[in-house]
Structure 1
Amino acid sequence: MAHDDTLIGAGFSHPVFQSQGAFRALLAALSEPGLACDLGDAVAPPAGLEPATAVALLTLADYETPVWLPAALRDGPAGAWLRFHCGATLVEYPARAAFAVIDGAVAEPKLTAFNAGDDQFPDRSTTVLVQCAGLAGGDAVTLAGPGIPGQRSIAPTGLRPGFWTEVEDNAALYPLGVDLLLVHGAQVLGLPRSTQIVEAR
Structure 2
Amino acid sequence: MDNRNEGFTGGFPDAVYNSQTVFRTLMDCMARPGSLGLVTPELMPPAPLGVAAGALMLTLCDHDTPVWLSPKIAQSNVPGWLAFHCGAPLTREKSEARFAFLEAGAHLPAIAHFALGAQDYPDRSTTLVIEIEALDGGRPLNLTGPGIRDVTHLAPRGLPAELLAQWTDNRALFPRGLDVVLTAGRQMIGLPRTCKITALEV
| SS, match of residue 143 in structure 1 | strand
TM-score normalised by structure 1 residue count: 0.93
The structural deviation recorded for 1:150 is 0.5
Identify the residue that residue 4 of structure 2 maps to in structure 1. 5
Once the two structures are superposed, residues 127-171 of structure 1 have per-residue CA deviations (whole angstroms, 9 ceiling, x without a partner) of 000110110001111110111001111100112334212122211
| SS, match of residue 37 in structure 2 | strand
Identify the residue that residue 129 of structure 1 maps to in structure 2. 129
The structural deviation recorded for 1:6 is 4.6
> What letter matches 1:60 in structure 2?
L
CA contact (8 A) 1:117 1:125 kept: yes
CA contact (8 A) 1:42 1:55 kept: no
- After TM superposition, the structure 1 stretch with the greater mean CA deviation from structure 2, 153-162 or 130-139, is 153-162
CA contact (8 A) 1:136 1:156 kept: yes
Q: Which ranges of structure 1 fall in alignment gaps of 5 or more residues?
A: none
TM-score normalised by structure 2 residue count: 0.93
Once the two structures are superposed, residues 16-51 of structure 1 have per-residue CA deviations (whole angstroms, 9 ceiling, x without a partner) of 111111110000010000011001242111111010
Identify the residue that residue 166 of structure 1 maps to in structure 2. 166
Aligned counterparts of 2:53 and 2:101: Cα–Cα separation in 1? 8
Once the two structures are superposed, residues 65-99 of structure 1 have per-residue CA deviations (whole angstroms, 9 ceiling, x without a partner) of 01110123223201110011000001112111000
Q: Does 1:78 align with 2:78?
A: yes
Aligned counterparts of 1:119 and 1:41: Cα–Cα separation in 2? 37
CA contact (8 A) 2:108 2:163 kept: no
Aligned counterparts of 2:77 and 2:103: Cα–Cα separation in 1? 17
Identify the residue that residue 16 of structure 1 maps to in structure 2. 16
Aligned counterparts of 2:199 and 2:64: Cα–Cα separation in 1? 37
CA contact (8 A) 2:33 2:189 kept: yes
| SS, match of residue 4 in structure 1 | coil
Q: Does 1:117 align with 2:117?
A: yes
Aligned counterparts of 2:174 and 2:105: Cα–Cα separation in 1? 25
The structural deviation recorded for 1:117 is 0.5
The structural deviation recorded for 1:200 is 3.9
Q: Does 1:96 align with 2:96?
A: yes
Q: Does 1:157 align with 2:176?
A: no
CA RMSD of aligned residues (A): 1.5
Identify the residue that residue 29 of structure 2 maps to in structure 1. 29
Equivalences, count: 200
The structural deviation recorded for 1:104 is 5.4
Q: Hey, which bits of structure 1, 4+ residues long, moved more than 4 A?
A: none
